[in-house]
Copies of this chain bind each other. A is one copy, B any other.
């Protein structure tokens, strides 16, 4: 069993350091715990540090954690890292967490339907202090609120959990007003079918804004698709082959907008000349496609970072659930123009 690699070199412990420095283990612990002032003389501190250096010592996190009772680990629960939006959330979260000395463990629920089980398992298995949840349905939110863990829930309101809300209503309004001000009257809505609450807000604002503009609602102008390009393409086709097709489409997500792009091409329509497209999107994807997508910008990385901050703040001040709102802005790019 003695193959080349030396696993033998046991990591040095505080006891080893103490022995080498000629002090007690407690002293080493005090030095590394930052509680040295007034308890350990500067001279001794130097000695300890030197000994530690020599042995390549660093405190064992596991033991420290066991003693202290908290792990400094939080979980980020997202449906799919493959989606650039969630990837950005993750990046933001990871950076913020590092600042507070926390570690983020990713739980990618994928398409797994009983992902609640995964979450609960993760919480149990790893000793996680709290979690950030993205994209859960309203009913699941209630379930999760029962877990006695600190949690921040993104883009969902909840009275039981701290939540970071995106001002989807205002965003939808900006998008619709942009289309209206360009002169569009025939505006369709390509919606996501995955979550009730968010869908409703967008749909509500969509209808309300049209109503206020004196445009009557057409049920056949609202179609749904999952966050999959091909599905969006099919749904968009349904809109484009209507006898009286829309001149603009308001999309719930960038992926859906890409589906529209593809459908438009199928029908020989040029964007934005023949068809305007607008959607919610973080920046990357919106800028990757051609023409670049006019979008309600969702600051994904900032959202991830802020969620972590709220979570950590919750650990410290032991207060009731908070709610915070992220405002969204319209970024006009190349996918919208006046109707022909």
Contacts and interface: CB of A to CB of B under 8 A. Distances in A.
A106 B71 CA distance: 16
A82 B289 CA distance: 16
A43 interface: no
B261 A290 contact: yes
Interface stretch (A1-9, A15-23, A175-183, A192-200): A1-9
Interface string A248-268: 000000000010011001000
A66 B65 CA distance: 10
A173 B56 CA distance: 47
A229 B106 CA distance: 27
A interface, size bucket = 35 or more
A94 interface: yes
A60 B63 CA distance: 13
B108 A105 contact: no
Contacts of A4: 320
Nearest to A80: B91
Given A265-B290, A289-B289, A320-B3, A81 B71 contact: no
A94 B108 contact: yes
Given A105-B105, A106-B106, A288-B285, A148 B6 contact: yes
28 contacts: A1-B318, A5-B148, A5-B318, A5-B320, A58-B125, A60-B127, A61-B126, A62-B62, A62-B127, A81-B88, A81-B90, A81-B94, A82-B84, A82-B88, A82-B284, A84-B87, A90-B108, A91-B108, A95-B108, A95-B110, A104-B105, A104-B106, A105-B105, A229-B288, A258-B288, A288-B289, A289-B290, A290-B290
Interface of A: 1, 3-7, 9, 58, 60-63, 65-66, 71, 80-82, 84, 87-88, 90-91, 94-95, 103-108, 110, 124-127, 148, 229, 258, 261-262, 265, 284-285, 287-290, 318-320
